[in-house]
Amino acid sequence: MRREKGAPEPISALNRVPLRECGEPLVDIRRYCPGVRISRKAIPFLREQVAEMLRAAQAALPAGYRLWVRTALRTLEMQREMYDRNFERIRQEHPTWSYATLRRATNRFFAPVDQKAPPGHCTGAAVDVYLLTPSGHLADLRSPFTGWEVAPTWIEGLRPSAQRNRGILLDAMLGAGFSNCRDEFWHFSYGDAAWAVRTGQDHCIYGLVEPPPGWPRKPKPRA
């Protein structure tokens, strides 16, 4: 398993990254990446280069393994709702924390929408991806942990099976050109501000992008 431990991603550093929007289109990863399984709840679009890299990562996996995309593109409204919901959850768990402390805790896992640098998922650059075994089951990526403490990519104390499966996932995604968020083993991106900070680039190439018409799809009303 590769041992690049990643770099911190403070909001201040993300905001300093210049954007040179390349204008690359979104593509439907259901058609672009036929070997990849995609959550029905996901908006299945990524920038074209990112989709090509995802397809390459799938091809690099051992025989029978598949990538499972849980999240790809998000709208700003989706990101805002997720951020606010988790800010409130943390506030209830830690009622004595200051507002600034609550913000820092929330920012660790959920990018805010009120900053210069847009959240990676809102640019078509980022993907949350897991690993499926040849039997079609979710690979063990977290045992013996069960909560948020499992999120850091290089956490100590993983069982050998989880460490091995993380290695498979990381080798495929990093080998395809993605960078990994060290605080979230499942989060990879290319071309956004976070990628630029992690990899030492002097600019990013993807800014905010809107999903195609009709997305996100509204749930069908129950009969």
pLDDT at 44 over 70: yes
∠ Cα 66 69 72 (to 5°): 150
What the chain holds in terms of domains, given with CATH numbers, is 11-199 (3.30.1380.10)
Whole-prediction pTM value?
0.94
- Determine the Cα–Cα distance for residues 20 and 17; give it in Å rounded to an integer: 10
pLDDT per residue as tens digits for the range 144-165: 999 999 999 999 999 999 999 9
pLDDT at 3 over 90: no
Residue appearing with tokens 């083993």: 185
Among 189, 194, 186, 192, which Cα is nearest to 9's? 194
∠ Cα 135 138 143 (to 5°): 125
- Determine the Cα–Cα distance for residues 38 and 27; give it in Å rounded to an integer: 14
Instruction: Compute the radius of gyration of the chain from its Cα atoms.
Output: 17
- Determine the Cα–Cα distance for residues 214 and 46; give it in Å rounded to an integer: 16
- Determine the Cα–Cα distance for residues 183 and 107; give it in Å rounded to an integer: 11
